[in-house]
Chains A and B, each alone.
Chain A
Amino acid sequence: SQQGEEDPQALSIQEGENATMNCSYKTSINNLQWYRQNSGRGLVHLILIRSNEREKHSGRLRVTLDTSKKSSSLLITASRAADTASYFCATDANDDYKLSFGAGTTVTVRA
């Protein structure tokens, strides 16, 4: 079952701007992960943040996690046309090894 919900569903920004998307979830987690999917392709792992971490960076990506609010955000700074994709959060519950994916945020970066 889907646990994560992304917000917004879609986002359109100008090249060079920042893109922020949010993920909310319902139960306790071991970690939360973000994935990117280019049109018609498989998902690619971007970043994993564990439940005892609050913030993590990877290149132009910044992820925050607030376990008290059961929410996470993904920030892409200085966006490029190549960042156009769908972005999914996935939660890793403490009781099994299955990821639960949200429905995703579609990001369009305009040149």
Chain B
Amino acid sequence: DVKVTQSSRYLVKRTGEKVFLECVQDMDHENMFWYRQDPGLGLRLIYFSYDVKMKEKGDIPEGYSVSREKKERFSLILESASTNQTSMYLCASRPGGYNEQFFGPGTRLTVL
């Protein structure tokens, strides 16, 4: 079974802190994604990566950056957390081609 794991289920941070969200997948997938999910807004794509060291902006990249140094790991970085970044963050991976996507369990981040 494909497994996508995220470093934390719940996280509480202070405004201005630097926050790292880690995602690891174990199926050698080329593509990895970070979404945020807010009530009534569905899933919005923050960044995605189609190869090691490659990244592309999604729909809402402002305030975020990403890192993909190894194929299995995709990190989301909040350089200076703000209260409007309080959200559920979902990581996903996908093999090449038009296939299904596999999601991690999510990290619920609260910024105080």
Contact = CB atoms under 8 A, between A and B. Distances in A.
A98 B106 contact: no
A42 interface: yes
A97 B59 CA distance: 14
B48 A42 contact: no
A45 B104 contact: no
**Interface of chain B, main secondary structure:** strand
B105 A45 contact: no
A23 B96 CA distance: 25
Contact of A41 (B33, B42, B100, B106): B106
Interface string A23-35: 0000000110101
B77 to A, nearest CB: 20
Contacts, number: 55
Interface in B20-34: 31, 33
Interface residues of B, number: 30
A92 B98 contact: yes
A99 B93 CA distance: 11
**Interface of chain A, main secondary structure:** strand
B108 interface: yes
A88 B98 CA distance: 17
A98 B98 contact: no
A28 B31 CA distance: 22
A42 B101 contact: no
29 contacts: A1-B59, A2-B42, A30-B98, A33-B100, A33-B101, A35-B103, A40-B88, A41-B106, A42-B90, A42-B103, A42-B104, A42-B105, A42-B106, A43-B90, A43-B101, A43-B103, A45-B100, A45-B101, A45-B102, A48-B99, A50-B98, A92-B98, A97-B50, A98-B48, A99-B101, A101-B35, A103-B40, A103-B41, A103-B42
